[in-house]
A and B are shown apart, each in its own frame.
Chain A
Amino acid sequence: MNNAQQSSAKDFLKRLSENSGVSGYEESLTPLVQAEFHPLADAVYTDALGNIYAHKKGTIGRYKIMLAAHMDEIGLMVKGIEQSGFIRFTTVGGVDQRTLLSQEVIIHGRKPVLGVIGSIPPHLLSDNGEKAVKIDEMGIDVGLPYDKIREVIQVGDIITLRRQCIEMLNQLVAGKSFDDRAGVVVMKICLEELQKIQHAHDVIAVTTTQEELGYRGAITSSYTLNPDLGIAIDVTHALTPDTKGQVDVELGKGPAVAIGPNFHPLVYEELLKSAREWRVPYQIHPVPGRSGTDAWAIQVTQAGVPTGLVSIPLRYMHTTVETIDMRDIVHTGKLLAYFIAGLPEDLEGKICY
């Protein structure tokens, strides 16, 4: 493995992860993503929903391959400000209330404000701490009196959890919103690889918005592009001690290639073929119905799009310590590049049922 490539991928992942972009509020990520894709694409542009397109032309350019990875993260939103100075909040996307106590947050008011989600001191616990604390019972402490809070924070302000990425053994990294900024890093690696390999078809890597609230960015961007083939890149649950029997994909064993009704059988077969040919480790990821990813939206765009899904294994999804193996990210990017380069010139003929 190319260490320089992996370390630049890790650097990009960290910058994406430590930045903020809750669904619908992704614009703070736009300059970062654009700058990174600009040297790798012929054109980089955005649309009305904030999706970012990086268009790299192929040698023939008759067909369009769409890649999609979402940049939005789950988060919180200010619901009320108490006279006592505590801030009430609600959720944006699938936030587990059990992951919130004693977290540090940034409230994106007129200026960023650091806060702490309070927890009851153990000396005063009455219920032995058996019940999860409900979000309605939590308040954010910003160390400011009510009047000062009102000057900078208002109802509707977005809140992100604050977490710096940490590095663990075996090139594992942990942090927030790797779901799905790891997918954005994968697209960058794919485009890097395609600088070195000839590919016939145009590739449009789309960094999508609002996936966590129902793949809304993917709905509009795939309509705009009407691609001949679409691949979503997302994360998938990796096995942990508390998910035995529920999860089979493992960290560090390569990209998980999805099979099921959401995916075109030939896309699946070709991905596996490329993996075997180029000796990229991979895992099979059976998805019997709704995939819960951008692929679900892309497949039913316009007159229909042959779609695939490649996922990066990830532990503790939707926590601030999502854990990922950098090697899986690099392998996923490479697999996509080999797959794209290996597609026949007559793509339409090949993907007909």
Chain B
Amino acid sequence: MLLKTLTQLNGTSGAEQEIRKILTEQLKPYVNSIHTDKIGNLIVHKNSLTVGPKVMIAAHMDEVALMITAITSEGFLKFKPVGGIDSRILVSKPVQINALLGVIGAKAIHLQKPKEREQALKIEQLYIDIGATAKEEAEKHVKIGDYAYFYTETEPLGEGYWKGKAFDDRVGCTLLTELLKKDYPLNLIGAFTVQEEVGLRGATIAAYHVQPDLAIILEGTVSAHMMEVEEGAWVTEPGKGPALSIMDRATLYQPKLLQQVIELAEKNGIPYQFRKGHSGGNDAGSIHLSREGIPTLAISVPCRYIHSTASVMAEADLQNALALVDAILKSIPNEFKF
């Protein structure tokens, strides 16, 4: 299962090589060309000889992770986050570093003062234990600058849900791979981008050299659909269909494009929802501002507990996102105008 394969790979911002390798293997038989650009984006051309508008679909390969920043004299590893991680989710978890497993523990409850239990552990207080007895031993296995990843299996949860890490944005990579395996009479370019989590870096480069006429961003996005959160703050709700972005911190999406997507969804009976929240952003933020400006859409799969060791998403949202983008691509260039 592609989603499982891709989410269980490790690749954070600037270290996406494993993802690139597997995507290349997956796509080779189906596409016209695959190449890696100067920043590491995997650029895939499908039917690139066709005349007409150039459509770029983008999904980012990188996930949030931890960078090893120091090794203590006792052989413990200090770290900083790559991308947005709430340090509270790190406590009492295993992590993978290179070929090793390690743990992020915490001072036992018995040894804490009652007040300590009310305070979140800060990232500076945490460290990874790999079982090394001294700095010299740890250095044989881990270098400063190496990355530690969440250690979580992707598996079904309840009825129709998946639990795992890195849904943001391997769910987008999964969708884009499935789309590139199909055939559309279009000049279609798939851009698997790098470094989204540290500031949409790869997408900036991809948009510049691809110069598309239309860009569609496929994302795993925030859902705060949780017990203690009021409905107004949910942003998205898993199971209610792909989320269409209207506005986020980085982009105002064109109403005339959105309107056409809504009409297509309704015509084809595909459920959808709006991404109701103005925080966060995605590769659209840099792509829509590329060169003279690019008409841009963002379609996302809602993920609860995004950027954590165990996110939750609905399989139906993945399938409906695929159906929606498929409907858009089929209606270009005659019906869908941009």
Which residues of A are at the interface with B, using a C-beta cutoff of 8 A? 82, 84, 86, 88, 94-104, 113-116, 118-125, 129-133, 137-139, 141-144, 148, 163, 166-172, 174, 237, 240-243, 246-247, 252, 292, 315-323
Within 8 A of A (CB), among B283-310: 304-310
* Complex A-B: 29 CB contacts under 8 Å: A95-B109, A96-B109, A98-B120, A99-B91, A100-B92, A115-B157, A118-B304, A121-B224, A121-B308, A124-B224, A124-B279, A130-B120, A132-B120, A138-B227, A139-B226, A143-B160, A169-B137, A169-B141, A174-B94, A240-B76, A240-B107, A242-B107, A242-B125, A316-B106, A316-B108, A317-B110, A320-B93, A321-B94, A321-B105
- Known pairs A123-B280, A124-B233, A321-B103; A132 contacts B117 (CB<8 A): yes
Report the count of interface residues on B (CB-CB < 8 A): 69
Chain A residues within an 8 Å CB radius of B277: 124
- Would A174 and B89 count as touching, CB distance under 8 A? no
Within 8 A of A (CB), among B120-161: 120-121, 125, 127, 129-133, 137, 141, 151-152, 155, 157-161
Tell me if B72 counts as interface (CB < 8 A to partner A). yes
Which residues of B are at the interface with A, using a C-beta cutoff of 8 A? 72, 74, 76, 84-89, 91-94, 100-112, 117-121, 125, 127, 129-133, 137, 141, 151-152, 155, 157-161, 163, 222-224, 226-229, 233, 235, 277, 279-280, 304-310, 312
- Would B310 and A102 count as touching, CB distance under 8 A? yes
Q: Closest residue of chain A to B225, judged by CB?
A: A84
Of the candidates A95, A103, A121, A130, the one whose C-beta lies within 8 Å of that of B119 is A130
Which residue of B72, B105, B157, B222 has the most chain A CB atoms within 10 A of its CB atom?
B105
B110 to chain A, nearest CB (A): 7
- Would A102 and B308 count as touching, CB distance under 8 A? yes
- Would A316 and B92 count as touching, CB distance under 8 A? yes
Chain A residues within an 8 Å CB radius of B227: 82, 84, 86, 88, 118, 137-139
Chain B residues within an 8 Å CB radius of A171: 131
B153 to chain A, nearest CB (A): 9
Chain A residues within an 8 Å CB radius of B118: 131-132
Q: Closest residue of chain B to A170, judged by CB?
A: B131
Known: A142-B157, A168-B100. 12 other contacts (CB 8 A): A102-B93, A103-B92, A118-B226, A121-B86, A121-B307, A132-B88, A170-B132, A174-B103, A240-B76, A252-B133, A316-B92, A323-B103
- Would A116 and B108 count as touching, CB distance under 8 A? no
- Would A315 and B129 count as touching, CB distance under 8 A? yes
Chain B residues within an 8 Å CB radius of A319: 91-92, 105-106, 108
- Would B222 and A123 count as touching, CB distance under 8 A? yes
- Would A143 and B133 count as touching, CB distance under 8 A? no
Question: In the docked arrangement, what's the CA distance between A163 and B104, Å?
Answer: 13
Which residue of B85, B133, B235 has the most chain A CB atoms within 10 A of its CB atom?
B133
Question: In the docked arrangement, what's the CA distance between A317 and B310, Å?
Answer: 23
Q: Closest residue of chain B to A94, judged by CB?
A: B109
Question: In the docked arrangement, what's the CA distance between A99 and B109, Å?
Answer: 10
Question: In the docked arrangement, what's the CA distance between A168 and B158, Å?
Answer: 32
- Would A321 and B224 count as touching, CB distance under 8 A? no
Q: Closest residue of chain A to B311, judged by CB?
A: A116
Of the candidates B104, B137, B310, the one whose C-beta lies within 8 Å of that of A116 is B310
Question: In the docked arrangement, what's the CA distance between A100 and B310, Å?
Answer: 12
Q: Closest residue of chain A to B112, judged by CB?
A: A96
Which residue of B101, B106, B155 has the most chain A CB atoms within 10 A of its CB atom?
B106
Chain B residues within an 8 Å CB radius of A130: 119-120
Q: Closest residue of chain B to A237, judged by CB?
A: B108
Chain B residues within an 8 Å CB radius of A101: 86, 88-89, 91, 308
What 7 A-B pairs come out closest when comparing CB atoms? A143-B158, A316-B105, A168-B131, A139-B227, A143-B161, A169-B131, A321-B103
Of the candidates A104, A169, A242, A318, the one whose C-beta lies within 8 Å of that of B100 is A169
- Known pairs A122-B307, A143-B158, A241-B76; A99 contacts B106 (CB<8 A): yes
- Would A123 and B159 count as touching, CB distance under 8 A? no
Chain A residues within an 8 Å CB radius of B111: 237, 243, 246-247
- Would B86 and A318 count as touching, CB distance under 8 A? no
Chain B residues within an 8 Å CB radius of A116: 157, 163, 305, 310, 312
Chain B residues within an 8 Å CB radius of A102: 89, 93, 305, 308-310
Chain A residues within an 8 Å CB radius of B152: 104
- Known pairs A102-B309, A116-B163, A123-B280; A96 contacts B106 (CB<8 A): yes
- Would A323 and B121 count as touching, CB distance under 8 A? no
- Would A122 and B131 count as touching, CB distance under 8 A? no
- Would A129 and B91 count as touching, CB distance under 8 A? no
Chain A residues within an 8 Å CB radius of B92: 99-100, 103, 316, 319-321
- Would A122 and B137 count as touching, CB distance under 8 A? no
- Would A166 and B229 count as touching, CB distance under 8 A? no
Chain A residues within an 8 Å CB radius of B280: 123
Q: Closest residue of chain B to A140, judged by CB?
A: B227
- Would A125 and B74 count as touching, CB distance under 8 A? no
- Would B304 and A141 count as touching, CB distance under 8 A? yes
Chain A residues within an 8 Å CB radius of B91: 98-99, 101, 319
Q: Closest residue of chain B to A239, judged by CB?
A: B74
Chain B residues within an 8 Å CB radius of A142: 157-158
Question: In the docked arrangement, what's the CA distance between A241 and B88, Å?
Answer: 19
Question: In the docked arrangement, what's the CA distance between A100 and B106, Å?
Answer: 12
Q: Closest residue of chain B to A317, judged by CB?
A: B108
A105 to chain B, nearest CB (A): 10
Chain B residues within an 8 Å CB radius of A322: 105
